[in-house]
C-alpha cells in the first residue's frame, strides 16, 4: 500500500497527540496537515510541524470566530504563514449551520483569508456548511488563480462545477456513514486528480470507530471506503491521493 495522507486534522484537540502521531506512522500515514481554527491553534499547528517531520501546518480562523478577524489577527496569521512548514491558509469559509458569527462578518473574514492566501502564495482550505451557494459565489469572485481545497467535502450536487474550477475535494470519515447517501454518491464523481482524504480529527470518526475520538491513523478507513465506492483497488487510489496531496500543497510537502 502506498503511503496515506491526512489533509486536515486538528492535532491540538487530540487527547494524546503524541501517541496519535505514532499510531498514524504505524498505519502508513506519511503526511498530515495540522489545521488551525484560531490564532492559538494556528500557533500550535506550526509547533506540531516544527517537531514532527511528517506534519505540516495550515493557519487560519474558523468562521465561528469571524468576529476576531481584524487587521492585527491577519498580520499575526501572515507572520505564521512565513514559517517553513506552513502549507495553507485556513480553515476559513462560511458556516450557516451553527451561525455562531454574523454572516456578514463571516463573509468579510473569508475575503481577508483569500487575500492572505493570494499574498502568501499558499493554498486555501475552505469550510462550507449549509452555505454552498455563497461559498461558491465568493470563491468565484475572490479566489481566481488560488489553489482551493474544499475540506470535509459537502457540495454534493456541485462536483462538476467544483471540478471545472480545479478545486480539490477532501473527503472525511462521514463518507463511511450509511446515512450519508448524497456524499457517498458524490465521491464517485470526483475526478481522480482532485480527490483528497482527511480525518478532521478528533471529529467524524469513520466506521468502525464511531463513538470514539477520531485520529489521523483512521484515514485508512476513509481511503478503503472511497476505494470500495469507486470500485478501485485501495493501493491504486492511495497512490493517486498521495500524488494529489503533493500537487495541492506544493513544494514544502515533497
Give the pLDDT of residue 1. Answer: 85
Give the pLDDT of residue 136. Answer: 98
Using one digit for the tens of pLDDT, what is the confidence trace for 170-203? 999 999 999 999 999 999 999 999 999 999 999 9
Q: How many CA atoms lie within 13 A of 40 on its CB side?
A: 4
Q: What is the CATH T-level fold of the domain 4-253, as seen in this structure?
A: TIM Barrel (3.20.20)
pLDDT tops 90 at residue 254 = no
Give the pLDDT of residue 175. Answer: 98
The full DSSP string for 123-168 is -EEEEEES-HHHHHHHHHHH-TTS-EEESS---GGGHHHHHHTT-E
Count of other CB atoms within 10 angstroms of residue 243: 14
* C-alpha distance across the termini of the chain, in Å: 19
Using one digit for the tens of pLDDT, what is the confidence trace for 77-114? 999 999 889 999 999 999 999 999 999 999 999 999 99
Please say whether the beta carbons of 241 and 49 come within 8 A.
no
pTM of the shown model: 0.97
For residues 129-135, average pLDDT: 97
Amino acid at each position: 500500500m502506498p503511503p496515506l495522507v491526512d489533509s486536515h486534522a486538528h492535532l491540538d484537540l487530540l487527547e494524546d497527540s503524541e501517541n496519535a502521531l505514532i499510531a498514524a506512522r504505524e498505519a502508513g500515514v506519511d503526511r498530515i496537515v495540522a489545521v488551525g481554527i484560531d490564532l492559538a491553534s494556528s500557533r500550535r499547528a506550526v509547533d506540531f510541524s516544527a517537531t514532527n517531520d511528517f506534519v505540516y501546518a495550515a493557519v487560519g480562523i474558523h468562521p465561528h470566530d469571524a468576529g476576531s478577524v481584524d487587521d492585527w489577527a491577519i498580520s499575526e496569521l501572515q507572520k505564521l504563514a512565513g514559517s517553513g512548514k506552513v502549507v495553507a491558509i485556513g480553515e476559513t469559509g462560511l458556516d450557516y449551520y451553527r451561525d455562531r458569527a454574523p454572516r456578514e462578518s463571516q463573509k468579510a473574514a473569508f475575503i481577508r483569508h483569500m487575500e492572505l492566501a493570494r499574498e502568501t502564495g499558499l493554498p486555501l482550505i475552505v469550510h462550507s456548511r449549509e452555505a454552498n451557494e455563497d461559498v461558491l459565489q465568493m470563491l468565484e469572485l475572490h479566489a481566481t488563480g488560488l489553489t482551493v481545497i474544499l475540506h470535509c467535502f459537502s457540495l454534493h450536487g456541485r462536483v462538476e462545477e467544483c471540478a471545472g474550477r480545479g478545486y480539490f475535494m477532501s473527503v472525511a470519515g462521514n463518507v463511511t456513514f450509511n446515512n450519508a447517501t448524497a456524499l457517498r454518491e458524490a465521491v464517485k464523481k470526483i475526478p481522480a486528480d482532485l480527490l483528497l482524504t482527511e480525518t478532521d480529527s478528533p471529529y467524524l470518526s469513520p466506521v468502525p470507530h464511531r463513538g470514539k475520538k477520531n485520529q489521523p491513523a483512521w484515514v485508512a478507513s476513509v481511503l478503503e471506503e472511497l476505494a470500495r465506492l469507486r470500485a478501485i483497488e485501495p493501493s491504486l487510489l492511495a497512490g493517486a491521493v498521495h500524488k494529489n496531496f503533493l500537487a495541492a500543497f506544493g513544494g514544502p510537502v515533497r
